[in-house]
Chains A and B, each alone.
Chain A
């Protein structure tokens, strides 16, 4: 039995000021899948993500969402000095009426996900005073507080050091394995794909892309092709684990 995709992108084309940015992108994301998107800077990863989230209406084609979306933008900063709890609480937006403020139940949901993301101790700190890694976890807690079924993250690991990258990636894996959350994220590190993803989308240019399972699509040849830099497969020498890295180091 084939289950209907929770997120379906059909022949999506986006134009901006007469210039075509994306053309003919089609892919399905099944429930419980984790999709990693890779591609060079400026290839349109954020544009495609915005179409999936619904922030952008593609000029051609369609995006069908069969579940609530939680969106974690790249490096979010707040203009005002809101506390961490305030920020997570705002994830409740879609469950509130036009004229209502969050109630006790909403606070409980926010606190629960702060707890789950292990950032409860930061609840009263100003959001902008947090480190990049902590901020990312708070934004994930916000998306969870919105009770999303699909979480879409725009480069959740950019500008993070190795430790924080590992924390964010481990968090995504935990959310997928334990809660069955469907996740779509963009990244520049193929290893992130290997660590959490079930599927990969390689965006070569505005109309050429490869989409499939990690095993069949995430290969050294495809990555070399994608980035136009020689990329090789590197073994860690334990348990058959490996990663992909540029081979320009002699």
Chain B
């Protein structure tokens, strides 16, 4: 067994990186399908694995003799499936955003929150909960404030028509600090018996409330920008050599940067609006993906998306099944994600996709 894995590892390493990319994508896609089916069976109402497969299959090709009850079908289709798809979308969107920004900034500590949008959207959402209480207003306010905070960052970072990455990151940090303080003020002002817990839970992140209408909104905010980022994959490669080098090579770097920023803002604001603040995914997953397929964003972005989707799905499974009450996913991404990240990083150190001296 031991020698078998060793042989496998050697032959995997010997594979041409390009072919290895396809292998990894195929393996992850398979894993994704199995995770989805497995997640369907999880929960207080038991659904067998066979029925989970068949109910899903029934949506594509109607099955002649159903072996499941109407309740089974209802639990799977109306309750679990939208939530599962929501987790996939959030995980994929955050991981793609993180991978793109790490490439653009050439910094391993970057996550989508760095451009100030997450905190801005968080502020919008908490303000809406304080003023109105809940519902679509929270969604709209979070998304709107998220996008607005990118505009603020852009205004702060642009001097004489030029934006350097350094001032951009600093502006992002400043805006984040400002909105976090604003969130604290709102928490102070909030009624400690009703509004404060609502705000706190919302900020900690959850995909619990997801139905198909939420899912449609989520998809609208996450899918098109993710595709846009993927389409820019080669320009992101060039920019990851450094701004000066990219400029000398004739790449339209400002345009690429702002498209990526806007796309990441849209994804982040969409995630916060529908699921609260989910940390760590955008930071951790790209590192694992880079360890598997290297730094070329043509492979890195899709592999990050798949890994992020699977990861957040499993995290959400824990969130809804580990205890009687629902756990906020933000807590689990940190509690589970961080040690896993530390361990995997130790193993991948030599081939993490980052250059070492």
- Cα–Cα, bound, A244→B354 (Å): 43
- Looking at B17, B234, B247, B255, which has the most chain A CB atoms within 10 Å of its CB? B234
Q: How many residues of B contact A (CB 8 A)?
A: 35
Q: Once the chains bind, are A146 and B250 in contact (CB under 8 Å)? A: yes
**A242 CB contacts on chain B under 8 angstroms:** none
| Segment 25-70 of A: residues with Cβ below 8 Å from B | 53-55, 68-69
- Cα–Cα, bound, A142→B294 (Å): 20
Contact with A along B294-318 (1 / 0, CB 8 A): 1110100000000000000000000
Contact with A along B239-271 (1 / 0, CB 8 A): 011101111111110011000000000000000
- Cα–Cα, bound, A124→B252 (Å): 27
**Closest chain A residue, CB of each to CB of B295:** A80
Q: Once the chains bind, are B256 and A98 in contact (CB under 8 Å)? A: yes
- Cα–Cα, bound, A153→B290 (Å): 32
**B241 CB contacts on chain A under 8 angstroms:** 78-79, 82, 87, 90
Q: Once the chains bind, are B247 and A100 in contact (CB under 8 Å)? A: no
- Cα–Cα, bound, A86→B237 (Å): 9
**A83 CB contacts on chain B under 8 angstroms:** 17
**Closest chain B residue, CB of each to CB of A71:** B248
| Segment 74-102 of A: residues with Cβ below 8 Å from B | 76-83, 86-87, 90-91, 93-94, 96, 98-102
- Do A98 and B353 form a contact, CB below 8 Å, given A80-B103, A83-B17? no
Q: Once the chains bind, are A93 and B251 in contact (CB under 8 Å)? A: yes
Q: Once the chains bind, are A53 and B231 in contact (CB under 8 Å)? A: no
B175 close to chain A: CB less than 8 A? no
Q: How many residues of A contact B (CB 8 A)?
A: 33
- Would you give the shortest CB distance from A130 to chain B, in whole angstroms? 11
- Looking at B241, B242, B354, which has the most chain A CB atoms within 10 Å of its CB? B241
B170 close to chain A: CB less than 8 A? no
- Would you give the shortest CB distance from A148 to chain B, in whole angstroms? 10
Q: Once the chains bind, are A94 and B251 in contact (CB under 8 Å)? A: yes
| Segment 104-157 of A: residues with Cβ below 8 Å from B | 124, 126-128, 142, 146
**A76 CB contacts on chain B under 8 angstroms:** 245
- Cα–Cα, bound, A77→B290 (Å): 18
**Closest chain B residue, CB of each to CB of A82:** B295
**B356 CB contacts on chain A under 8 angstroms:** 81, 128
A180 close to chain B: CB less than 8 A? no
**B231 CB contacts on chain A under 8 angstroms:** 99
**B251 CB contacts on chain A under 8 angstroms:** 93-94
| Segment 276-297 of B: residues with Cβ below 8 Å from A | 290, 294-296
**A86 CB contacts on chain B under 8 angstroms:** 237, 296
A73 close to chain B: CB less than 8 A? yes
**B240 CB contacts on chain A under 8 angstroms:** 79-80
Q: Once the chains bind, are A79 and B237 in contact (CB under 8 Å)? A: no
Q: Once the chains bind, are A55 and B355 in contact (CB under 8 Å)? A: no
Top-4 shortest CB links A-B: A94-B250, A80-B295, A71-B248, A93-B249
Residues of A within 8 A of B (CB): 53-55, 68-69, 71, 73, 76-83, 86-87, 90-91, 93-94, 96, 98-102, 124, 126-128, 142, 146
Residues of B within 8 A of A (CB): 17, 103, 106, 231-235, 237-238, 240-242, 244-252, 255-256, 290, 294-296, 298, 351-356
Known: A55-B248, A78-B355. 5 other contacts (CB 8 A): A71-B249, A81-B355, A93-B235, A98-B256, A142-B249
Report 7 cross-chain contacts, Cβ distance below 8 Å, ordered by A residue: A79-B241, A80-B106, A82-B241, A82-B295, A86-B237, A90-B249, A101-B298
